[in-house]
């Protein structure tokens, strides 16, 4: 059984996809951008501030679905420049301090709307 998850606290999808889908005890969260719902824009600052907002958006979706960061088993971190890795990792590490999820992180040519970071997440109950 598939259930669509939408949090009013996280940015709405900007295309034909859902914020998240829950299926058979697994939550698949679409790549989150650093959009602040209050302003509808990216947060100001650099990759640290953008990563913080991305992680907040992931948290809102996890919460809406009844999950937490402790349930996350896999993250994929996309960076517009690999030189942002250390700063992204510093912020990311505040959310996962023990029993960290599996993860891939890599640079891509471009991210939607000119973002510096996008993170997709999988959580399991």
Domain ranges across the chain: 2-124
- Full-model pTM: 0.96
* pLDDT tens by residue, 43-98: 999 999 999 999 999 999 999 999 999 999 999 999 999 999 999 999 999 999 99
> How many CB atoms sit inside 10 A of residue 50's CB?
27
* pLDDT tens by residue, 4-38: 999 999 999 888 999 999 999 999 999 999 999 99
2-124: which CATH topology?
60s Ribosomal Protein L30; Chain: A; (3.30.1330)
């Amino acid at each position: 059984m598939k259930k669509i998850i939408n949090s009013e606290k996280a940015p709405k999808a900007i295309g034909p996809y859902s914020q998240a889908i829950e299926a058979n005890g697994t939550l698949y969260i679409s790549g989150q951008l650093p959009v602040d719902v209050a302003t509808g824009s990216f947060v100001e600052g650099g990759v640290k501030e953008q990563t913080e907002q991305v992680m907040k958006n992931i948290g809102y979706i996890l919460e809406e679905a009844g999950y937490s960061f402790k349930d996350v088993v896999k993250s994929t971190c996309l960076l517009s420049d690999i030189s942002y890795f250390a700063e992204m990792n510093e912020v990311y590490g505040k959310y996962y301090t023990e029993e960290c999820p599996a993860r891939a992180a890599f640079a891509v040519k471009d991210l939607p709307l000119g973002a510096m970071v996008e993170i997709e997440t999988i959580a399991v109950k």
